[in-house]
Amino acid sequence: MLGPHPAKSSQMVMLSTLPLLLLTLLVLYRFTQADSVYTQDQLQRPDLASSSRSITFSSTSSARQSFENMEKSFGSAWQPPKERIRNNVVFPLPPSVLPEESSILKTDSLPSNRDYLPEVGNGHLATVVGSDSLFMNGLYNGANLSSHRARIPSPSGYSIQTESLIPGGLTRSYSLDIGRAIFTESYEGGGVTITLRTYAHSTLSHLLVSELALTRDDVNKDVELNVKVNPGAASEDLDFHTDTQGLLRGLTREAEYPELAPRTEGLDSSVGNGFAPWPRGRGFETQPSTVRAPTGWGKISMTPGSKGETYLALAALGHNRDIVLAEYALALQAWESGQLLSLHTEGWSKYWNRGRIDIEGNDYLGHVFWDQDTWMFPTVAVLHPDLGRRLVETRTRTLDAARLLAKRTGYKGARFPWESAFTGLETCPAEPYGEREIHINGDVSLMFKQYWQLTHDKSFMAQGKGAELVWGVADFWASRVTHSTTNDSYRILGVMPPDEWHALVNDSAYTNNIAVINLDFANHLKTVMGQAENPQWREISAKMVRPYDVSRDYHPEFEGFNPRDRTKQADVVLLGFPLMVDMKPSTRQRDLHVYDRTTPQGPAPAMTWGMFLIGWLELGDEAKAETLLTRSIQNAQDPFLVWSENADGTGAVNFLTGMGGYLQSVVFGYGGCRLHDDRMTFEPRLMPSATRMRFVGVSYRGCSLDLEYDSEVLTLVLTSVDKGHQGLAVRFQDESKWENLIEGRKIEKKRQPFEIQSKGN
């Protein structure tokens, strides 16, 4: 996964627990022809929950021995071993399912601003290439508002020292391969090729892999180089020690909220029954030198007579000892059978084949907050519903913490924090965001509504705490509103809207409208679950103040809003999408005009223009939308298209919110996709300069379909129907009847709007 910048972005989804096991292999392995070939199925991680005691670690024992040998060879200063074991095979790069001309970003020099370096990750671990830091999902250090992702000194920040290269005069290049999820540093010339690849393994997710491949046409030509690693300083977040088998064990130094989740220690080699609490304040008297990353691989020379060699470095990282050791062993098996790289690329090929967007002829190339719910979830869920389920589960996981936060702040139900990390309590380091930006609760509940519309996953709502969460948010709103006896209405006072330049307002249009949506959806779920509606929720929804200026036909951002004021970003514009508030086309147009004038053209966050773009496409103004598309992609910084919060490169780096807004402009703008309670609609348009667009793996109600169109013709094909689901029906704008989709059969029509629904409707 080419994931978020671990050192800068605060929008990663964090799920795991605190203890850390780190196993690092930095010796170089010899390729041995295996007696048997390991298939991908054989190399899958075992079900350790049910069979951990039956696993034999033949390769794992070798791995542990290798680790011990590494310590003996490197010594206390981690010096390079005197002799290297080489692999006399260079593995070919497996094919990519994506066209390489559009999915490989290549440059001959790295950006001067190191913030724009790319990163590799797989959802479990991630690192900026060549950096001194590694980050793991769910690992936080720091008390309450100071909680942050714990930095692990990276054992894999490798690079090649150009001044040491023999032969000289080689051409250097760097590439980010999005299709294969690999970063490469290469040197070529005179029949010599040197390639350093770095990737977070897609199948063995606890592994970070570095491979150094050397080839030469003339076996008599000397090839020498030095490979260095960026060790950085010792971690300020973790204490480490080594166990008897060479495993490094880490412990976070400070718990986020000790009463909910004290810091914990990993399993000791003599303990097999879980994790034991580590008393606060206790630590290690000394820190072993082996905690530090190595000084480097040192000098490497090709073996006389060899035309090709590959060197390997692995880092295995995780919370569970057995999984770390098992994946480490499986990686060695895969390496020996020549499948370690291909298993990784095959995993990504499957991911891309399940859901992606292809655009032909186009010239355009951990804290959790509303970015996840509002900006990332919709596109992810439409193309990868399994990942959408994981995102909603990040909220049900912290439902008890949300209830505790509501109680602590004097309200009922469930109140979600503006920023959260491990425990689910507030970790935003600055006020007044955590106190006032309560629309986060509406964003969370809206995500659950969208998930329900997309999947009708009743088991999740009933048994997975989905309905409990939605009802908890509704109870929070019911306790947070103020009843006005003057006109018998309900108001929400003292909030910060999405436009954070107005820090204390009453009756935010966005906040009040999303609260109404939450309350109505909560009662809808009551009906679905066979329960009576909540009359209080219904009354508040019906009588909620929702700002609207009749004379000017637009929505003021809040009570007393002056349309000559400046606004930070998209706010009221979000009423049209994603809130889909019912309004006249003239009102939608006025909102877009008014807030286009109030929003700065330069420093506004990237996702703002995606939402304006969607609005103008709703109204059929493709010329205006094209201008906004051009504006939005200016936030993608060369050469690796790392997104910044602002177009001038300022603000947050690797800004996932902006990326999410851009993707939504493609799916919900040019694809015209909309979710409704009983159907999914599309109004497909071509992006500027595109000749054809293809949406692969659009998911709806347990079914998957592919949509492809050019300027004239639209093709639709149902590709799969999950067990227990009834399939889909389609109705095109030029027809009045619904037509059942048959799996595998293409329907070709003139490009036009259409809608799909489950056959069960």
Note the pLDDT tens digit of each residue in 397-451: 889 889 988 999 999 999 998 765 555 555 555 567 566 889 999 999 999 999 9
Asked whether residue 404 is assigned to any structural domain, the reply reads: yes
pLDDT at site 523: 98
Strands laid side by side in the 754-758 sheet:
674-675, 680-682, 754-758, 728-732, 739-740
Specify the number of domains making up the chain: 3
- At 14-61, the pLDDT tens digits run 222 223 333 333 333 323 222 222 222 233 333 322 222 211 112 222
Q: Is the model's pLDDT at 236 over the cut of 80?
A: no
Cα three-residue angle 566-567-571, rounded to 5 degrees: 155
Asked whether residue 217 is assigned to any structural domain, the reply reads: yes
Q: Are residues 349 and 441 in the same domain?
A: no
pLDDT at site 719: 96
Distances (CA, A) of 738 to 673, 675, 684, 741, 755: 18, 18, 19, 9, 9
Compute the average pLDDT of residues 148-174: 85
Asked whether residue 12 is assigned to any structural domain, the reply reads: no
Strands laid side by side in the 703-709 sheet:
356-360, 692-700, 703-709, 713-721, 746-750
pLDDT at site 60: 26
Catalytic residue flag (residue 645): no
- Among 319, 354, 389, where does a domain finish? 354
Which among 71, 188, 393, 500 is annotated as catalytic? Answer: 500
User: Considering the entire predicted model, what is its pTM?
Assistant: 0.72
- At 686-740, the pLDDT tens digits run 999 889 999 999 999 999 999 999 999 999 999 999 998 889 999 999 999 999 9
Compute the average pLDDT of residues 356-364: 64
pLDDT at site 595: 95
Lowest-pLDDT range, 357-361, 489-493, 540-544? 357-361
Q: What's the whole-number average pLDDT of the chain?
A: 77
Q: How many CA atoms lie within 13 A of 436 on its CB side?
A: 20
Give the H/E segment covering residue 711.
Answer: none
- At 736-758, the pLDDT tens digits run 999 999 999 999 999 999 999 99
pLDDT at site 643: 72
Q: Is the model's pLDDT at 678 over the cut of 50?
A: yes
Give the domain range for residue 707. Answer: 692-758
Mean pLDDT: which of 230-244, 471-485, 649-663 is highest? 471-485
Q: What is the DSSP letter of 373?
A: I
Asked whether residue 2 is assigned to any structural domain, the reply reads: no
Q: Are residues 305 and 395 in the same domain?
A: no
**Given the structure tokens 């060699």, which residue do they identify?**
309
Q: Are residues 312 and 410 in the same domain?
A: no
Distance CA(119)–CA(135), nearest Å, equals: 11
Distance CA(165)–CA(175), nearest Å, equals: 20
Angle at which helices 340-354 and 321-336 cross, to 10°: 110
Tell which wins on pLDDT, 656 or 271.
Answer: 656
Lowest-pLDDT range, 176-180, 213-217, 332-336, 501-505? 332-336
Q: Are residues 199 and 86 in the same domain?
A: yes
Give the distance from CA 560 to its chain's centroid: 38
Contacts for 61 with CB less than 8 Å, ≥ 6 apart: none
The dihedral through the CA atoms of 43, 46, 52, 54 has a sign that is: negative
CATH number of the domain residue 497 falls in: 1.50.10.10
Looking at the chain, the whole-number percentage of residues with pLDDT higher than 70 is: 75
Q: Encoding tokens for residue 578? A: 């994603």
Asked whether residue 614 is assigned to any structural domain, the reply reads: no
Contacts for 486 with CB less than 8 Å, ≥ 6 apart: none
Helix, strand, or coil here: 643? strand
* Segment 55-63 long-range contacts (CB within 8 Å, at least 24 positions apart): 55/322, 55/326, 57/325, 57/326, 57/329, 58/329, 59/329, 59/330, 59/332, 59/333, 60/325, 60/326, 60/328, 60/329, 62/329, 62/332, 63/23, 63/25, 63/325, 63/328, 63/329, 63/332
Lowest-pLDDT range, 163-172, 487-496, 629-638, 690-699? 629-638
Q: Are residues 437 and 485 in the same domain?
A: yes
Q: Are residues 240 and 173 in the same domain?
A: yes
Tell which wins on pLDDT, 38 or 200.
Answer: 200
Using H for helix, E for strand and C for coil, what is the string for 162-221?
A: EEEEECCCCEEEEEEECCCCEEEEEEEECCEEEEEEEEECCCCCCEEEEEEEEEECCCCC
pLDDT at site 34: 24
pLDDT at site 615: 96
Closest CA to 684 of 699, 704, 698, 669: 669
pLDDT at site 58: 21
CATH number of the domain residue 199 falls in: 2.70.98
pLDDT at site 433: 57
Q: Are residues 332 and 466 in the same domain?
A: no
Tell which wins on pLDDT, 708 or 148.
Answer: 708
Reading phi first (left if > 0) and then psi (alpha if -120 to 50, else beta), residue 399 is in: alpha
- Say which amino acid occupies 89: V
Q: Are residues 316 and 207 in the same domain?
A: yes
Asked whether residue 150 is assigned to any structural domain, the reply reads: yes
Asked whether residue 133 is assigned to any structural domain, the reply reads: yes
Compute the average pLDDT of residues 657-672: 86
- At 371-398, the pLDDT tens digits run 454 556 678 888 888 888 988 998 998 8
Asked whether residue 595 is assigned to any structural domain, the reply reads: no
Q: Encoding tokens for residue 417? A: 């924090």
Compute the average pLDDT of residues 622-631: 91
Distance CA(274)–CA(172), nearest Å, equals: 49
pLDDT at site 131: 85
- At 67-93, the pLDDT tens digits run 222 222 222 222 233 333 345 567 778
Do the strands 308-318 and 238-242 form a parallel or antiparallel pair, or are they unpaired?
Answer: unpaired
The answer to whether residues 230 and 132 touch, using CB atoms and an 8 Å cutoff, is yes
- Among 546, 568, 596, where does a domain finish? 546
Q: Are residues 228 and 103 in the same domain?
A: yes
pLDDT at site 428: 55
Q: Are residues 279 and 131 in the same domain?
A: yes
pLDDT-derived band at 97 (thresholds 50, 70, 90) equals confident
Q: Are residues 458 and 343 in the same domain?
A: no
- At 302-328, the pLDDT tens digits run 888 889 988 888 888 887 888 888 888
- Among 354, 378, 395, where does a domain finish? 354
Q: What is the DSSP letter of 372?
A: I
Q: How many CA atoms lie within 13 A of 123 on its CB side?
A: 9
Lowest-pLDDT range, 144-158, 419-433, 464-478? 419-433
Q: Are residues 252 and 374 in the same domain?
A: no
Q: Encoding tokens for residue 748? A: 């070709």
